[in-house]
Structure 1
Amino acid sequence: MKFLLLICADPTQVPDDAFARGCEGWTEEMQRRGVLQGGGTGLHAPAAARTVRVRPGVDDDEISITDGPFAETKELIGGTVILDCPTLEEAVAFAARHPSARYGAIEVRPIWDPATPPPWS
């Protein structure tokens, strides 16, 4: 099963040398284990984001574009990783080994397979 890891951090808690240290071998270990499927992508700061909403209008759809991220939060999403693990527990264990978990949070979400019923049904 595939899992998306959202790497989150409070920018005031990130160590000054965090970017220079990178993932401290975590990425290479996940590659050796054969679970790293994608991601490893860093994101720009929330100020660079745009949130797009489309709602039905009277004549046409109304498009709303807002500067910044959707969520009002102090934490920012610094990047994403996709792991392929047999269980949620294993994905969580790998997330706990990521260096960013020491000063931020890593949200682990199963990726929905469109061949199965929607998870919200």
Structure 2
Amino acid sequence: MQYLLMIYQNEAEFGKMDAAARKELTAEYGAFTQSIIQSGHFKAGDGLQPTTTATTVRVRDGKTLTTDGPFAETREQLAGYYLVEAKDLDAALSIAARIPGARNGSVEVRPVMVYD
């Protein structure tokens, strides 16, 4: 079964990191990504640009409305994701717990809908 692992972090806190800390975090993510590629769990994944680059789209009464930024103000913002293949929720949770961002942010784990 496939699971989407959504990584949330506080963008302001991330912005305060110095270059050395960012380099170390990038290396951790690289090692984690390689480990799930090698184990066969990896399907897709990427980091996202900051919420200041986001545009929200809504369609109301047949009209497309766009606004700058994310839909809601939150303490943590969606920073990236992994799409993984796991035998069950427990296996997906185990993978999510190894994501470096889980230490200071959060990772939401959701099963991907299967259509017959």
Structure 2, unmatched stretches of 5+, are: none
How many pairs align?
Answer: 110
Distance 1:18 1:87 in 2: 34
Q: Percent identity?
A: 36
- Where does the alignment leave 5 or more consecutive residues of structure 1 unmatched? 116-121
Which moves more between the two structures, 77-86 or 11-20? 11-20
Secondary structure of 2:11's aligned partner? coil
Give the 4+ runs in structure 1 shifted more than 6 A.
none
Taking the TM superposition and a 5 Å limit, the aligned residue runs for 1:21-60 are: 21=24, 22=26, 23=29, 25-39=31-45, 41-56=46-61
Give the aligned residue type for 1:31.
Answer: I
Structure with the largest fraction of helix: 2
CA RMSD of aligned residues (A): 1.5
Deviations 1:26-77, CA, capped at 9 Å, x for gaps? 11111121101111x1111101101000012xxxx12211110112212111
